[in-house]
A and B are shown apart, each in its own frame.
Chain A
């Protein structure tokens, strides 16, 4: 915010004074940026190390000093992942579960969000606050009964056991309600005059207008469930049903004495989908995270 400093106001100041101004206004800034840059490099280093080590010969994988640049990339670790664990199956399982949850949450949350934002019915506020209150309930407080329930429903050890309980979403409902409330009511009135019924107003008029909200929810949900570990660990026994994070943990267990390059090749592959989602959806990701905070 320091657009005017002593130097611009007093160009005739002495060298000594100019130096003290430099220390005061510039040096501190440079030190801050230097520290931030070093910190940024440290923060990104695990990614660079993961990718470079995944392309090195297994026997060199733990060599010291760490080598960051790989001159002769060795891709055999990547094929080895598929030999060690059913990694292709794990990728498919992860995609199936994650995409099903994303689509499911988009449906339930946009319906519920629209109801709370645009439809009037008795008990609307009470229901809204009750649903918001359930956001405070941690996963761990419900996981045991949900596990019992899933078993009783005959869904134990199926991918459906991960999908079904994740479909209702209090956060998504809140998010979509905010977006629906941001659409002016005039749209509804205009559509009513044009003879649209309530379902058409929702599907044809409002839903396209809250596309950014749907994108936010989709990106957040994808990220959360692609990386999920706790529920898959408890709900799945059969290795052919494992999702990627569970597979990574298993692979690490096998590899305690073997090559870490293979494990890191698997980690690298597991990152690709979330990176793609981030590259195309970072605006929505950040917007969604901020919305959670500003409204809290």
Chain B
């Protein structure tokens, strides 16, 4: 705040040059130039975030109070959209579907990501570590759209590679994409395939961050195997675990391209996620107001879950 004060008091000092306060070749002038440059450098980001992120969040709230189909002028209807939402069994069902998806997807993501990271960080030859890491990381490069396409072919009931190899093991053909429960499983598996590399990388980062003193102390005390994992490794990577859980839930609640391309929400509504219902309301049925209502509810849930996770994390997470 000091530089603001000095700016205002220093300004009238030179009557000849109106820009003297900024061009002045003194330390104070340099500080003022730096402050001005700071605002200048920030302006594209701040302006952009105001226009394309912060503003739209507020605007979403406003839109959720209107009935608006783009073609006719918006009509204020108060909380009627929210009332409609809480009686819209299809929309409510989609939130439940998203919830089920997130529970399975995120827990698998955390377990598989952690196991892979533990294996990769254990003692092994460099080229092996490198090969494993690349293999598990590779799916992250594929787009959700391409993943959905490739895996839906591979999961085809009659001709898919997955059922063929399961058949060799004596498993009868699984109706992966054509039966509600299996369709959800297919989406979860595809999502896991796509995203576990990220979780693994997070945990590798967390594991390398454990100080060697702690590990040496564990060695001296003879902590091994599961004891060592529960009492040393897990507490030490708990900040990473919290971060992976938070980003996992946020990402999982936003899943769209996999169900959209693999099952189009079906069979029935069994894989219709919250984002899909929002997309259909706003961009298929052109109900901008009602779509915004669904978006607002989703946003509030994401914020609530994240806050809850940090709340639980505060008590359980161990920071070095």
Residues of A bordering B, CB below 8 Å? 1-2, 32-33, 36, 40, 43-47, 49-50, 62-66, 107-109, 111-112, 114-116, 119-122, 124, 127, 131, 134, 136-149, 164-165, 167-170, 173, 192, 198-199, 202, 223, 226-230, 233-234, 244-246, 248-249, 252, 260, 263-264, 267, 270-271, 274-275, 278, 282, 286, 289-290, 292-294, 296
Contact = CB atoms under 8 A, between A and B. Distances in A.
Contact of A119 (B35, B138, B156): B35
A53 B149 CA distance: 13
A122 B53 contact: no
Given A43-B193, A122-B3, A131-B49, A230 B132 contact: no
16 contacts: A43-B136, A43-B193, A49-B154, A108-B45, A115-B39, A119-B38, A137-B53, A137-B299, A138-B253, A139-B254, A140-B298, A144-B291, A148-B63, A149-B56, A229-B143, A229-B260
Interface string B131-167: 1101111111111111111110110100101001000
For the residues of B in contact with A, the DSSP-based class is helix
Nearest to B153: A260
Contacts of B139: 43, 46
B150 A50 contact: yes
Give chain B's interface residue range (CB within 8 Å of chain A).
35 or more
Given A144-B292, A226-B143, 18 more contacts: A40-B131, A46-B139, A46-B150, A49-B154, A66-B161, A121-B3, A121-B38, A121-B39, A127-B46, A131-B46, A144-B63, A145-B57, A165-B48, A167-B48, A229-B260, A248-B145, A263-B149, A294-B209
Interface in B241-271: 242-244, 246-247, 250, 253-254, 256-257, 260-261
Given A46-B193, A122-B3, A289 B202 contact: yes
A108 B44 contact: yes
Which 6 residue pairs spanning A and B have beta carbons closest together? A168-B48, A227-B143, A290-B205, A145-B56, A296-B243, A119-B38
B33 interface: yes
A229 B275 contact: no
B243 A138 contact: no
B21 to A, nearest CB: 15
Interface string B196-228: 001001101110010000010001000000000
